[in-house]
Structures are given as structure tokens and as C-alpha cells.
Amino acid sequence: MNDPKCSGCACTLSEEEITKRLDDIIEEYRDKPGGLIPALQIVQSLLGYLPDKVIRYLSNGFHKSYSEVAGIVSFYSFFSTTPRGKYIIRVCLGTACYVRGGKQILENLKQELGIDVGETTEDRMFTLSIARCFGACGLAPVITINDDIHQRVKGAKVRDILKYYREKDSQGKEMN
């Protein structure tokens, strides 16, 4: 668990500490109607994703079948069963964004990051994904990085945008 490339908070936790946290989450949410989904959200924010081993542990703790819990995880796009980066980049490829250069923005990001859609950089800093519409057509092309919205993005600005997040991350590490 103590992977130096990992940017998630769970990297510093032992297996026992993770199990204890899972047990606490199960205890808090097991008897609440609809409690499984918030429990999954909390666990994913703790670990950065939902590994198969954890899905099995939660299915046992919630007295649900593995297939039911795995089905929920696979149904909601928010959940991930593979490690994600600290920064999730979503490129809008809805009609307005596509026409105004969204596809080229995506290609520039792929080239700069060295990954394809659905992949995460080796340092687990960035994950690249696409979206069909953010509802911000007048600001096209649009990308989001976590909760930040970048509007009227130009291909030449992709490198600067990524540089900002890399610097932000390195400054945050220096503060710790």
C-alpha cells in the first residue's frame, strides 16, 4: 500500500487500518436505506478506486451478493475499479465542443500525457476521460479537471493547463 507513486491518502494506511475503516463505514451505513452507495463513495474517496477485493468485502459486510454490488459499481460512471489519477480530466465531445475543437484538445492531451482515454498516467497524477456534454455550449470547447472548468480551451494552452496542475501538486507536496 505504501507506493511512492500513489497520490491518494490510503497509501500511508496499513491493511489493518484500511480494514478498520471499511468496518466502520459498513457499521455506519449497513442499516440505512440506500446506504451502500454512500459507503461506496466514501471508500472510493479513501482508496481512489474500488478494487475487487474491497467490493467483495463490502458485499459481505452489507449482506449483498457480490454481483449486486459489482453491478452498482459498474452502472454508475462515478465509480472506478481501476486506480485513477489525482486529477480527472474530462474532455467534452458534445456537438458544440467537438465542432469548436474538442477532438483536437483531446488529441493534444493524449500526446502531452502519453495516455489514451480511460488511462491514468504512471505517476497517478492524471486520468483522461471524455464526456458527451457539460451543458456549457457557449463556452466551447470545455474541459473539466476535477471541479475546475476550463472554457474556450485552445490546443496551444493544453501544456500550460497541465503545467498549472503539476506545479500545484508539487507545491502541495512541499507544504506537507
Residues of the chain with pLDDT > 70, as a percent, come to: 90
pLDDT digits 0-9 by tens, 22-38: 999 999 999 999 999 99
Query: Of the ranges 9-23, 41-55, 94-108, which one carries the lowest mean pLDDT score?
Result: 9-23
Q: For residue 32, give the C-alpha cell.
A: 440505512
Instruction: Dump strand ranges (E) for the chain.
Output: 87-92, 126-131, 143-145, 148-150
Strand order in the sheet with 148-150: 126-131, 87-92, 143-145, 148-150
Residue 141 preceded by cis peptide, ω within 30: yes
Please check the confidence at residue 172 and state whether its pLDDT lies above 70: no
pLDDT digits 0-9 by tens, 139-149: 999 999 998 99
For the residues 50-74, what does the mean pLDDT come to? 96
Q: How far is CA 154 from CA 107, 135, 142, in A?
A: 12, 19, 10
pLDDT at 7: 41
Residue 33: other Cβ atoms inside 10 A: 5
CB 94 within 8 A of CB 134: yes
Residue 93, classified by CB atoms within 10 Å of its CB into exposed (0-12), middle (13-18) or buried (19+), is middle
Q: Which pLDDT band, with edges at 50, 70 and 90, does 76 fall under?
A: confident
78 vs 115, more confident: 115
Q: What is the pTM of this model?
A: 0.68
